[in-house]
Structure 1
Amino acid sequence: MCLGIPGEVLEILPDRPDLAKVDVSGVRRNINVGLLGDDSPVPGEWVLIHVGFALSKIDEQEARAVLELLEDIGKAYTDELEALQESRIE
């Protein structure tokens, strides 16, 4: 199962504007925001993440609803978080 997980943008890396540090349920990782093109997120905004890439920006209300749904799903969400913890984009 492939999931898109909401993450809150904490910062855009100053030396790599195509990378952002995000928080996903307490896990902080760098993700690639290059697919968003000219609509790059800013700190405080939410993005939908899949395999280390931001696919789209979403609002906070939608992000919280998706996180709640994912937490209810259980194992698929846990597996995706574990994969995120193991990933490294630098």
Structure 2
Amino acid sequence: MCLGIPARVIEIYEKDGLLMGLAETGGIRKEVCLEYTPEVQIGQYVIVHVGFAISILDEGEAQEMLETLRELAEATQTASEFAPLDQSSPGGQ
């Protein structure tokens, strides 16, 4: 499964003839291509998928998505802690 991750655009520039930017999420900054979202402004949130900003979000939508991703990460961590127990159950896989 591939996920698009919300990130806040903190810089916009041109590189090799392409509209590019620096986007940040969770303290991590990544260079992203902004060609699909040329109207984006610094401070706005975008969905980043494989290095491309594919849509613009308002801040509320972005925060809601980030919270959902945090909850998913926590649930995945909890599930992995119980994985060894599941493997040892009789007849279970």
Please report how far the alpha carbon of residue 27 of structure 1 lies from its aligned counterpart in structure 2 after TM superposition.
0.4
Please report how far the alpha carbon of residue 40 of structure 1 lies from its aligned counterpart in structure 2 after TM superposition.
2.5
One-letter amino acid matched to 1:8: R
1:16-59 CA distance string (max 9 Å, x none): 351110101110011001112xx431110010111110110000
Query: Could you tell me the TM-score, scaled by structure 2's length?
Result: 0.71
- Please tell me the root mean square deviation across aligned C-alpha atoms, in Å: 1.8
Work out which structure has the larger RCO, using CA pairs closer than 8 Å and 6 or more positions apart in sequence: 1
SS at match of 2:11: strand
The structure number with the bigger radius of gyration is 2
Q: Which runs of 5+ in 1 are unaligned?
A: 76-90
SS at match of 2:36: helix
Identity value in percent: 36
Instruction: Find the aligned partners of 2:60 and 2:3 in 1 and give their Cα distance.
Output: 18
Q: Which runs of 5+ in 2 are unaligned?
A: 75-93
SS at match of 1:47: strand
Higher strand share: 2
The aligned runs of 1:3-82 (5 Å cut-off) are 3-13=3-13, 15-16=14-15, 18-36=19-37, 39-74=38-73
Runs ≥4 residues deviating over 3 A: none
Match of 1:87 in 2: none
